[in-house]
Amino acid sequence: MAERTEVVFVDGMRTPFGRAGEKGMYWQTRADDLAVKAITGVLERNPQLPKDRIDDVAIAATTQQGDQGLTLGRTTAILAGLPLSVPGYAIDRMCAGAMTSVTTVAGAIAFGAYDFAIAGGVEHMGRHPMGFNADPNPRFLAERLVSGEALNMGNTAERIHDRFPQLTKERSDRYALRSQQKVTAAYEAGKIQPDLVPVAIRSGEGWGLATRDEAPRPETTMEGLAGLRTPFRPHGRVTAGNSSGLNDGATASLIASESAARELGLPVRMRLVSFAFAGVEPEIMGIGPVPSTEKALRKAGLSIDDIGLFELNEAFAVQVLSFLDHFAIDDDDPRVNQYGGAIALGHPLASSGVRLMIQLARQFEEHPEVRYGLTAMCVGLGQGGTVIWENPNWNKKAKAAR
């Protein structure tokens, strides 16, 4: 049997993330246009890639209707100016849509069927709220296959608090505060801006340009977080302050075989080591990244101690904390979410997986002493997804020096 083709993350870009709703900066911007901006950003930054060399375009969305419907990968490929010979398709794994886009095209590359693919996701939660017009099969509840609370992500986060009493509201609030602080510091240091594609936006005041994420709240304090209401249950622990918000945005990445990337002189920013998805009880979907990470580590022949950088999607602070506790990682471990996360930046569902990869790739460049990193996230209806990456900048001497 032939050896597996090495799969690499060449590059990734994203739109700034906006707040969903009429007051958000993308209220009058189409979802597919956001995806097109992310795709064209990646293509323009890598002009040495002939567009007809792209073998497929996989774009995810959770709510596939309206301007997020009609086989997004194909429609956005055409709108982005790719040759009509380049095919495309759409993917849905709720929050892990973009992550699944990457792993799906990676499988085709590893098999030898593709050399290059665009993979990403988009979510316009202002135009398409999660679950809008969905019609869950009544058997789910009638036959008690899942609890009614499993269909509400905030309730599933409250249930993690119930199951693990050591995961207090204060810990969640403190984690959320640190996320806001880290995002502010990352912006001040210019870490995030290089991978953002400016987007023209329209409002009542006229035309403008989106160049920064809209959701961060650098003024956040512990006192302010403590006073927020708990919308999912009286005297609960999950608030708008220690959760990700409702957001609009898109991401895109260029995934390739390492040999094809080297042939064209394209950068190799990360090398894919392994990936895994796992299912858990839908009522506590937030623990999903625990079994998916254990599975991905096992397939890679690694342990959690081998991971030098973590990019964990912050759907809820308690969900990240449950992961950290399981693997005996401190709440403030410097390896975790160095630039902050979704609590501050936002979580446009199906786009977020590639945002994690974009940030990890940046951190790999800054940390040649780190060999392995991972991106992981929880997924609605009781799933988790994890991708383990190797740092091509890894330097044994740098590791010894540190």
Q: What is the pLDDT of residues 115-130, one digit of tens each?
A: 999 999 999 999 998 8
Structure-model confidence comparison of residues 56 and 133, the more confident one: 56
- CA 294 – CA 190 distance, rounded (Å): 34
User: Does the active-site annotation cover 128?
Assistant: no
Q: Which of 162, 30, 156, 147 is nearest to 95 (CA)?
A: 156
Cα 40 → chain centroid:
19
As a whole number, the mean pLDDT across the chain is: 95
Look at the chain and count its residues: 402
Angle at 296 between CA 117 and CA 111, to 5 degrees: 35
| Domain presence at residue 35 | yes
State mean pLDDT over 218-239. 95
- In angstroms, the CA 176 to CA 394 distance is 31
Is residue 122 a part of any domain in this protein? Answer: yes
What band does 37 get if pLDDT is binned at 50, 70 and 90? very high
Q: Please, which pLDDT band fits residue 174 given cuts at 50, 70 and 90?
A: very high
Evaluate if residue 16 carries a pLDDT over 80. yes
pTM over 0.85: yes
pLDDT at 399: 58
Owning domain of residue 78: 7-126+245-271
Mean pLDDT of 154-161: 91
Question: Which of 124, 128, 161, 378 is an active site residue?
Answer: 378
Q: How far apart are CA 293 and CA 287, in angstroms?
A: 11
What pLDDT was estimated at residue 177? Answer: 98
Domain count, the chain: 1
Beta carbons of 30 and 67 less than 8 angstroms apart: yes
3-state DSSP call for residue 376?
A: strand
Q: What is the mean pLDDT of residues 20-35?
A: 97
Task: Write down the pLDDT at residue 238.
Answer: 95
How sure is the predictor about 1, in pLDDT bands with cuts at 50, 70 and 90?
A: very low
In a domain, 258, yes or no: yes
In a domain, 132, yes or no: no
Whether 235 is a known active-site residue: answer no
- Residue 226 within a domain: no
Q: Which residue among the candidates 124, 128, 347, 367 is catalytic per the annotation?
A: 347
Residue 255's domain is classified under what CATH number? 3.40.47.10
pLDDT at 141: 78
Average pLDDT over every residue of 2-25: 93
The answer to the question of residue 260 being in a domain is yes
In the structure encoding, which two tokens stand for residue 250, read together?
A: 């898109």
Strands 7-14 and 88-91: unpaired
Helix, strand or coil, per DSSP, at residue 287 = helix
Percent pLDDT > 70 in the chain is 98
Spatial distance between the Cα atoms of 228 and 241, rounded to a whole number of angstroms: 7
Position 205 confidence tier, pLDDT thresholds 50, 70, 90: confident
The catalytic residue among 95, 124, 161, 367 is 95
Residue 40 lies in a domain: yes
Q: Is residue 68 part of a domain?
A: yes
Question: Known catalytic residue: 95?
Answer: yes
